Structure 1
Amino acid sequence: MTNLKETASQVRRDIVRMVHAVQSGHPGGSLGCADYLTALYFDIMKHNPAFDMNGEGEDLFFLSNGHISPVFYSVLARSGYFPIQELATFRKLNSRLQGHPTTHEHLPGVRIASGSLGQGMSVALGAALAKKLNNDSSTVFSLHGDGELDEGQNWEAILFAAHKKVDNLISTIDWNGQQIDGPTDKVMSLGDLAGKFTAFGWEVVHLDKGNDMDEIVAGLQKAKSLSGKGKPVVILMKTSMGKGVDFMEGSHEWHGIAPNDEQLQKALAQLPETMGDY
């Protein structure tokens, strides 16, 4: 796990540097999901950085909450999809690394444009069904924000997945309790989220330490062991928004603002450089 933890630290450095450089972007959720995406791309998924859009014979990942693009771009670059130096172009004119991932930029690793919240589950379902039709035994993974579940389209897709027995789908909910306007409990309470997914016909994996690398790997492995048995699988992953930077942790205020020069230095001082900065 040491290498995964070191990689996650470097990914967090990338995130704060990218957002600071252009004074725009979404550091909070990106930092909170750094451990999950590191585990997924560097340990759990079978994937090919050479990148074929169809993804036949390999696991696929779909980022639904596309505003956390900094963590997605960092993990893709660090796992070989495109040059690490390209991270320096984040959100700049003519960059392939737009604020929300897009497909017309032809960035390797990006299969859908995301950022219009609530759509990722439907796309992941389509990909998972296509794999079943093609007798492809690979797994489809997706990531969603908890605030994103306010979008009704999610629940239509959740119903559909169970009805069609899409058991090669593992969806993860980043349950950090924060969204752009404040705590989810105040904006729109999610209630008994595990009970909802269970009632809708899904297998539920509880990941109460979504920023603990050992727990994340174990949770993803458990989810994989439950797949292929007639039900889609959801991981309810408790994370802390802004994890790794003490003055950002747990606050919705860092959903979509960038650190200033002083704050950047404070953040980097807390995040060991382990793979070399871009």
Structure 2
Amino acid sequence: MASLARRLLAEAVGTFGLIFAGCGVVVLAGCKPDTAADLLCIALAFGLAAYAMARAVGSISGAHLNPAISLGLAAARRFPWREVIPYGIAQLVGAVAAATLLMLAAQGRPDFALSSERFAANGYGLHSPAGYDMPSALAIEFAATAMLALVTASVTRRRRLIAAGPVVLGPALAMAHLLALPVTYAALNPARATGQALFVQGWAMAQLWLFWLAPAAGGLMGGLIAFCLLDEDGLLTEPDELTALARWAAAEAAEPGCDPQSPT
């Protein structure tokens, strides 16, 4: 297995690629989810980017690319809880780097003005593409992220994606965006929402709490469903400390004459 530092770098790079491509279609190409063609264009961009990044880093880090997915995989026992926060930090770094590069590129357009541009920031109410209110935004962000966590857990084995993982995750993310784009501009990812909101400021920062709460809760729900429904082949191979201690105690009880061994 790759070292933690290498896996964190893979998560940062993968998250950068996902958000730079997906949000770049909005920021640089001017696509907005108010027509069927633009809606499909944005969803396809995120789906293709997810496929590409999963192919690139899935065998290294598992290609979570999303703090909510890391939470969900931990709840599904496909990922250790102790690495959720480091993964989340790496994903945030990748997201902010992608938003920064998009900002630099967009400023090269003569008519660009951040105050009048969506910059792909997520919002509800007056800032929802179709005017959806806060309960609608909570519901769609929660449900769509839960679906993504369940799908990701189904193709994750021992922290890594199986060979078919990218083929499954790309269409799943595209489908989730088709559902959520008219409602919230489809965050489904706290890192993605944060990177864009940091530049828009104002209302985007004021509404950012929803795009952490709903995806995180959805990720946990999807992970718990995966833990209940899916087989156990994807569980972590190494036992936790309590399991190791129990095995050591059982071995000592079966062979009382043996010298004690460390339960590691």
TM-score (norm 2): 0.27
Structure index of larger Rg: 2
Identify, as 1 or 2, the structure richer in helix.
Answer: 2
Identify, as 1 or 2, the structure richer in strand.
Answer: 1
TM-score (norm 1): 0.26
